[in-house]
Amino acid sequence: MKQLEHIESIEKDLWESADTLRSNSNFASNEYFLPIMGFIFLRHAYSRFLKVKTEVEQNLPTRGGKIRPLTKEDFSGRGALFLREESQFPYLINSKNDGNTSERIVKAMELIEEDHPELLKDVLPKEEYRKLATEKAGSNLLDLILKKFDNSALDNADGDVFGRIYEYFLAQFANLSAHDNGEFLTPQSIVQMIVYVIEPDHGVVFDPANGTAGMFVQSAHFVEQKKKDPNRVLTFKGQEKNPTTIRLAKMNLAVHGLEGSILQGITYYDDRHELLGKADFVMANPPFNVDEIDADKIKDDPRLPFGLPGVNQKKKVSNGNYIWISYFYSYLKEKGRAGFVMSSQASSSGRMAKEDLPDKKKDSKTKEVDKFNSTDEATIRKLLIETGHVDVMMSIRSNFFYTRSVPCELWFFDKGKPKERQDKVLMIDARNVYRKVTRKINDFSPEQLKNLSSIVWLYRGEEDRFLELVNSYQEKSIEGKEALTTSKENFEKKYKEIQFLLQKFCKDEKIILTEFTKNTESFINSDSFLRDLSALCEKLSSLSQRAQSSQRDLRQGNSVFSVNAKQLNKIQEKLDPISKSCEDLAKDSDLVLKSLLKLTDSLKEKSISDKKETFPTKEINKLTKELEESRSGLSGVLHEIRYFIRQSEWLLVRFPEGKLQDVEGLVKLVSRKELKDNDYSLTPGRYVGVAPEEEEDYDFTEKLTEIHIELADLNKEATSLAKQIQKNFEELL
């Protein structure tokens, strides 16, 4: 997407505004992030307003050549907030207006809340701006931050762009534990994984541990991809204990043009929405391993159909994991689905209940505990499994969360499972599937999310979706021929222009070029390299024609294109050697460039040593820079072609017939008998085994990227540490 092209630099630039506020105000770490999120809200609200304003005005009647004033009703159902002039961003940054900056911002937010009380009443951070205004540098700080957000790149930015920025800021604040220890944010790829498995496309979506509403935002994106309006087909309901987090959540929904009801309450004790048995989808990332939950308050709760989890002698539930699990299950209606994050300990915790000891061997405290009729976690898990509604279990490796390094598991319930699958649970061990984002953070790439989801499709008998995904990867790799041809021509053109200048220089100076090339092999490598590149373009072109012919053969009348596994495997056999060629050519392009640069330097040094000024330094430098850029582009295209070939290969190697099968170390369909034989454990690794070592080609580019990420993070930490040491020394003086 073109708008996302420079999103990372925009995010980092805007993040500087947060650092500015932190460094120059007396705000505590849990205070300064709300004003920053308020700026993002105002900026995005204005961008959405402008877009919808243009659409509305095109259809408004005119009188005497004048368009009637816009009203709030004109924006209803269009995913944008109506903004009066005083709430629009240009007004805020215009210092000629009466009053100081903080007053203008507070007034803008008051008007927005007044016009949209159902969404934002008492939500926006007005008091924080008033507090900042009392500080000596307050107004200047606000002006400085406003200018940061007056970025022309944001003028026409849509929800995806601001959604990315909003999530980036939430992630940064989570990383700093600026609020609630960072637990208010579930990483986007974890949320997307849950969405892709349960596929919330209708009805009530409930999150009883709401956080900042990320589950709702990703559910909306899922529906939007189906060309539907999420506000029409989904009803979002959330519950959250922290009032500040609720404000963030409501702002997040508004940023994405979404409506929802988020109520304050401690879910252990409160059911504010009264959704027992009424939710179509339940999604959550609850706090793990919470202890000291008052057993007296929940002992008769109807949301605990399998019993109250273990109560200790203090009359407290010592671990809240199975309270959450029971609640999620009981909120679902007859055919509802649930997906949630849970501690890895929960899937195998507890032990099967044994017969009680005779009363005479129990002390008085034990008898007090017994009156709760508490149930062991393993027994609750057994009862859950026996419902037939435990659908999928997925293990996630460590370092997916910003503030927790521990691994976790995703649980999925489906009360609408067909009878033939009710005694089965799909176990997926995804711990070896990840992408390194920073030295401390991992996530899933978009393709990894789709690949894991496709295993669930096979489990549900949706083989056509799996085959179409494989086909899409193959098509993307073959379609890379256009970009490859262009990149190859650009590289060849610049290379030959430099080559021509060097040959002319050697001819004029009567230099025998072979004296300089015998150790570099530059011209020999270049000729061979360019021939190989041309051959690769031809192979892709030929494969493209063959694939198009196959697609025509597979069309069923005028119906949707259908593919079969046999055909895809044949195409993959042609693509696999191309993948290796892409890797080799990417390395060779670097060698060719380096050898040419070495030759250029040698000739330049000779010219200097001969005290001549005939070497075309200026022209060579210009062309060299252009050649390096074209080489970078060429390498990127080669890597992308190889990347998509590897995605289709990953799927076809594991599921060659386009049907679900057990894959060692990745997936196994487990029967209820196997679960019983393993003490009803739901830990995937216990069933799928260990993946065998694979002899796969070394991804040079990927490894370099990981090294670059590690180095960048270490440099950042070193710089931060150096500043802190310097500051400590200054304080000592």
pLDDT in tens, 416-464: 999 999 999 999 999 999 998 777 778 899 999 999 999 999 999 999 9
- Both tokens of 664, joined, read 């060692």
Q: Evaluate if residue 558 carries a pLDDT over 50.
A: no
- The SS3 of residue 727 is helix
The dihedral built from the CA positions of residue 248, 126, 168 and 440, taken in this order, carries a sign that is negative
Closest-CA residue to 102 (of 75, 131, 124): 131
The residue-averaged pLDDT of 548-557 equals: 49
709 band by pLDDT with thresholds 50, 70 and 90: very low
4 pLDDT exceeds 50? Answer: no
Give me the mean pLDDT over the 184-206 stretch.
91
- Region 126-151: mean pLDDT is 75
Confidence class for position 177, pLDDT limits 50, 70, 90: low
3-class secondary-structure state, position 173: helix
Are 564 and 467 in contact by the 8 Å Cβ rule? The answer is yes
CA distance 422 to 456: 15
Query: Taking a C-beta distance cutoff of 8 angstroms, is the pair 193, 394 a contact?
Result: yes
Does the pTM surpass 0.85? The reply is: no
Q: Give the pLDDT band of residue 1 (cuts 50, 70, 90).
A: very low
Q: Which of 65-79, 141-155, 164-178, 496-510 comes out lowest in average pLDDT?
A: 164-178
**Pair of tokens at residue 82:** 């109506």
State the residue for tokens 């204990």.
241
CA distance 293 to 308: 11
Q: Give 3-state DSSP helix, strand, coil % of the chain, rounded to 5.
A: 60, 10, 30
The confidence score (pLDDT) of residue 414 equals: 98
Provide the pLDDT confidence category of residue 53 given band limits of 50, 70 and 90. Answer: confident
Q: Does the pLDDT value for residue 386 go beyond 70?
A: yes
Max CA pair span of the chain:
110
| 309 in Cβ contact with 377 (< 8 Å) | yes
* pLDDT category of residue 179 using cuts at 50, 70 and 90: very low
pLDDT band at 63 (very low <50, low <70, confident <90, very high): confident
CA 511 vs CA 143, 501, 505, 516, 608: distances in Å: 63, 13, 8, 9, 14
Most confident of 182-191, 385-394, 475-484, 529-538: 385-394
For 91-101, what is each residue's pLDDT tens digit? Answer: 888 766 555 78
The Cα–Cα gap between 310 and 322 comes to: 9
Per the CB < 8 A criterion, the answer to whether 208 and 331 are in contact is: yes
What pLDDT sits at residue 136?
60
Strand partners, 207: 238
What is the torsional sign of CA 108, 112, 113, 114?
Answer: positive
User: What is the CATH superfamily name and number for domain 2-169?
Assistant: N6 adenine-specific DNA methyltransferase, N-terminal domain (1.20.1260.30)
Q: What percent of the chain has pLDDT over 90?
A: 43
- Using left for φ > 0, alpha for ψ between -120 and 50, and beta otherwise, residue 124 falls in beta
What is the residue-averaged pLDDT of the chain?
82
Helical packing angle, 617-654 and 463-508, nearest 10°:
160
Residue 395 confidence (pLDDT): 97
Gap between the Cα atoms of 376 and 679, Å rounded? 13
pLDDT above 70 coverage of the chain, percent:
76
* Cα-to-chain-centroid distance, residue 598: 42
Q: Which residue has the tokens 């993946």?
A: 691
Q: Does residue 685 register a pLDDT over 90? A: yes
Tell me, what's the pLDDT at 358? 40
User: Mind listing the pLDDT tens digit for each residue in 567-591?
Assistant: 999 999 999 999 999 999 998 888 8
Encode pLDDT of 203-257 as tens digits. Answer: 999 999 998 898 998 999 999 899 898 989 999 999 999 888 888 889 888 877 7
Distance CA 679, CA 562 (A): 43
Tell me, what's the pLDDT at 333?
Answer: 97
| Mean pLDDT across 364-379 | 65
pLDDT band at residue 506 using 50, 70 and 90 as cut-offs: confident
Asked whether the beta carbons of 124 and 109 are under 8 A apart, the reply is yes
Q: Which of 124-133, 233-242, 411-420 has the lowest mean pLDDT?
A: 124-133
Tell me what pLDDT residue 726 has: 63
Containing 436, the helix (H) or strand (E) segment is strand 435-436
Copy the structure tokens of residue 624.
């060299």
C-alpha 540/C-alpha 12 separation (Å) is 39
* pLDDT for residue 684: 97
Burial class of residue 697, CB neighbours in 10 A (0-12, 13-18, 19+): exposed
Q: What is the pLDDT of residues 288-325, one digit of tens each?
A: 888 889 999 999 999 999 999 888 888 889 899 999 99
Q: Tens digit of pLDDT for each residue in 513-535?
A: 666 565 544 554 577 888 888 89
Rounded to 5 degrees, φ, ψ at 443 are -155, -175
pLDDT at 728 over 70: no
Q: Which amino acid is at 384?
A: L
Q: What is the CA angle 560-565-568, rounded to 5? A: 85
The strand pairing partners of 317, in sequence order, are 293, 311
Q: Give the span between the Cα atoms of 673 and 368, in whole angstroms.
A: 36
Cβ 202 vs Cβ 280: under 8 Å: yes
| Mean pLDDT of the 322-349 span | 95
Cα 326 to its chain centre, rounded Å, is 28
Q: Which CATH architecture has domain 180-461?
A: 3-Layer(aba) Sandwich (3.40)
Of the listed ranges 59-68, 227-236, 627-636, the least confidently predicted one is 59-68
3-state secondary structure 12-47: HHHHHHHHHHHHHCCCCCCCCHHHHHHHHHHHHHHH
Looking at per-residue confidence, does 58 or 693 come out higher?
58
